[in-house]
Structure 1
Amino acid sequence: MNLKSVLFIGLFLALVGCVPLKKYQELESNYARCQEDQAKYKTEAIDFGSRLKEMEVQVGLMKSDLTTLRDDTARVMDEYRAIEVELKKTKDMNNVLETKYASVLSAGSRERAALINELEDTRVQLQKKEDRLSDLEKELVSREKVLIKKEARIQELESIIQKKDDASKALKLKIAAALTGFKDRGISVVERNGKIYVSVEAQLLFPSGKTDVNIDGKKALIDLAVVLESQKDIDIIVEGHTDVDPLKSAAHPKDNWELSVLRATSVVKIMLENSKMDALHISAAGRSEYHPVDINDKAKNRRIEIIITPDLTELFELISSE
């Protein structure tokens, strides 16, 4: 073998060796970025859930306060009516005393003095009742204003929540209609806790152990993306899930964690590349084998879950405002 042949073989081997290394480095970089994104979105999801729970607690407390306020107002109103009755009786008594006083003006000074004292005591009682009645009127007016304000605020909150619920139900129907052709092929659409979960079994999307989406799976994802592209007030997390069978490989994906992340990333890319969806509102995450839906059915656990969450910014702003 001459020197030219040796150099050619050496150059060929060097080129062949560079390609896998470059691909490996690219996958390593993508995997690290996906892990960072996953941590960020997991934190955001926890924060969102906490804020939603806090909002629900605050709405519940407001309703409880409103009930207490209504009960107190009813009590004040009862007292007000009772004092009105007492006031009328006192006024009637005062009229009787004044009539009696006029008839005994010519009587002795002792009887007249006693009658004057009795009349004065009645007038003092009358004034106290009138003062209390005036205070109750002011309290009732103040409570009525607070009641009206609280009722209006609760109605506003419940109206926004209802709109979000109605929008979620309508979106669920649109998604289910778009995926009708894949209904018996491992796709389910459910609404739970105000979110929409689109679950796609891995066998529809990926060959075993692979991260590239097949033709049928790509069509289903595009149909879904077309429905979601017109939704401007939602956030989407695409989660990859695997079964418990270990995946060990020198190449990528190396294990179930990496497989779940890379599959979720592949789904996100297809949806973004084939629609007008806003990339700011969609993210990819990997959950590996740790969130199974059926411990007896590995096929169901190997899946992609697309979780669609309504944007509750308006509600959070309203609940936190005074």
Structure 2
Amino acid sequence: MKAKIWISGAAIALTLTGCVSSKVHQELQSKYDELAAEHDNLLAENEECDASLTEAKAMLERCIEDRDQLVSDTIAQNRTVRRLRGNYDDLNKNYQFLLENNNTMLAENARENRELLDRMEDLQQRLEGKEDSLRIEQDRLAALSVQLQSREKRVNELESVIARQDSIVQYVQQKVSDALLGFEGKGLTVEMKNGQVYVSLENRLLFASGSWTVEQEGKNALTELAKVLAENPDIKIMVEGHTDDDAYRGSGQVRDNWDLSVMRATSVVKILQQNQGIDPQRITAAGRGEHLPVADNDSAEGKAKNRRIEVILTPDLGELVDLIGSMR
């Protein structure tokens, strides 16, 4: 479930454009958190739907038991009616006999017959009422069954879409890993987390200190990555620039780590886009500065890990979002 939450969060993050100031970044981060919370709510609603489905199934079983009981009661009532009709016939015979022998007994039997007839009519009315209730319950069960089938179908569709998205992510991870195998041990790692593929390239593979110009070996790695991305047009691409917490000492338009991280991310985006003609609408460049470290900045090794470019690959979540929306 956590992986699904991050899939929706990443889909929303992909709609963002590159950041150029702390204020804009904070606003985008706030929007990201709001949308992530909304996605959590959607998943919670999906869980409530699953609970409702389970409850409805239990209700259906109870209704079936009630229906069976009504059928059993109906059979018993029919037996009672048949028995009473037999009694009625017997009483009629006795009535004829007593009519010939005793007017007093005739009157008594007539009264008893009337009472039996009243009971029979009452039982008949009750039986007809039970039959009407049974028909109404059967109609309700049929409607409930249709609703359950529709809900189960949408749940199955949702699970199928999620399985396809996971399969796509695993396939892309393998393709990227194979394409960049020659760069292992040179500051490049490929991993899958939160339903996305993360390609992390340390700055020592890409940039000289304080520079945002990609060096040749970095261009080679990005060229191989671009080939895989060009073969998978449904994959969305987020390029994030990261720095350590050392203050930027350069001059010119780049004034701090925010600016430097954005410039580096943009440089990588341009190489990916220009190398294989990848649709620019698929790519987003973002600068994180020193604000999202993966290690502490107290050591040279930690600082080196924090100075990096992360290329985050996410499958197209449009079908998943549409399906979740249809279940609300």
Normalized against structure 2, the TM-score is what?
Answer: 0.82
Question: CA–CA distance in 1 between the matches of 2:81 and 2:136?
Answer: 22
Which 5+ residue runs of structure 1 have no aligned equivalent? 1-32
Indicate the residue corresponding to 1:300 in structure 2.
Answer: 305
Question: CA–CA distance in 2 between the matches of 1:275 and 1:52?
Answer: 34
Deviation at 1:314, TM superposition (A): 1.8
Indicate the residue corresponding to 1:94 in structure 2.
Answer: 81
Secondary structure (helix, strand or coil) at the match of 2:198 reads: strand
Secondary structure (helix, strand or coil) at the match of 1:170 reads: helix
| Equivalences for residues 236-275 of structure 1 within 5 A | 236-275=237-276
Question: CA–CA distance in 2 between the matches of 1:221 and 1:48?
Answer: 31
Question: CA–CA distance in 1 between the matches of 2:198 and 2:30?
Answer: 19
1:189-240 deviation line (CA, Å, top 9, x unaligned): 2222222111111111111111111111111111011100122222211110
1:95-115 deviation line (CA, Å, top 9, x unaligned): 111111111013321221222
* 1:284 alignment partner AA: A
State the percentage of identical aligned residues.
36
Deviation at 1:93, TM superposition (A): 0.9
**How many residues are aligned here?**
290
* 2:91 alignment partner AA: V
Indicate the residue corresponding to 2:8 in structure 1.
Answer: none
Deviation at 1:77, TM superposition (A): 1.0
* 1:53 alignment partner AA: D
Indicate the residue corresponding to 1:67 in structure 2.
Answer: 54
Indicate the residue corresponding to 1:26 in structure 2.
Answer: none
Indicate the residue corresponding to 2:318 in structure 1.
Answer: 313
Higher relative contact order (CA 8 A, sep 6+): 2
Deviation at 1:47, TM superposition (A): 6.8
Question: CA–CA distance in 1 between the matches of 2:169 and 2:273?
Answer: 21
Indicate the residue corresponding to 1:81 in structure 2.
Answer: 68
Q: CA RMSD in A?
A: 2.2
Contact 1:195 1:309 in 2 (8 A): yes
Secondary structure (helix, strand or coil) at the match of 1:210 reads: coil
Deviation at 1:144, TM superposition (A): 1.0
Secondary structure (helix, strand or coil) at the match of 1:253 reads: coil
1:235-255 deviation line (CA, Å, top 9, x unaligned): 211110001111133335332
Secondary structure (helix, strand or coil) at the match of 1:104 reads: helix
1:17-61 deviation line (CA, Å, top 9, x unaligned): xxxxxxxxxxxxxxxx8617x759767755764564344334323
Q: CA separation of 1:144/1:53 partners in 2, compared to 1, >3 Å: closer, same or farther?
A: same
Question: CA–CA distance in 1 between the matches of 2:34 and 2:214?
Answer: 32
* 1:64 alignment partner AA: A
Deviation at 1:182, TM superposition (A): 1.3
Normalized against structure 1, the TM-score is what?
Answer: 0.83
| Range with bigger deviation, 44-53 or 169-178 | 44-53
1:99-132 deviation line (CA, Å, top 9, x unaligned): 1111101332122122212222221221121111
Q: CA separation of 1:181/1:309 partners in 2, compared to 1, >3 Å: closer, same or farther?
A: same
Indicate the residue corresponding to 1:4 in structure 2.
Answer: none
Which 5+ residue runs of structure 2 have no aligned equivalent? 1-17, 96-108
Secondary structure (helix, strand or coil) at the match of 2:254 reads: coil
| Equivalences for residues 25-36 of structure 1 within 5 A | 35=20
* 2:217 alignment partner AA: D
Contact 1:41 1:283 in 2 (8 A): no
Q: CA separation of 1:54/1:164 partners in 2, compared to 1, >3 Å: closer, same or farther?
A: farther
Contact 1:55 1:316 in 2 (8 A): no
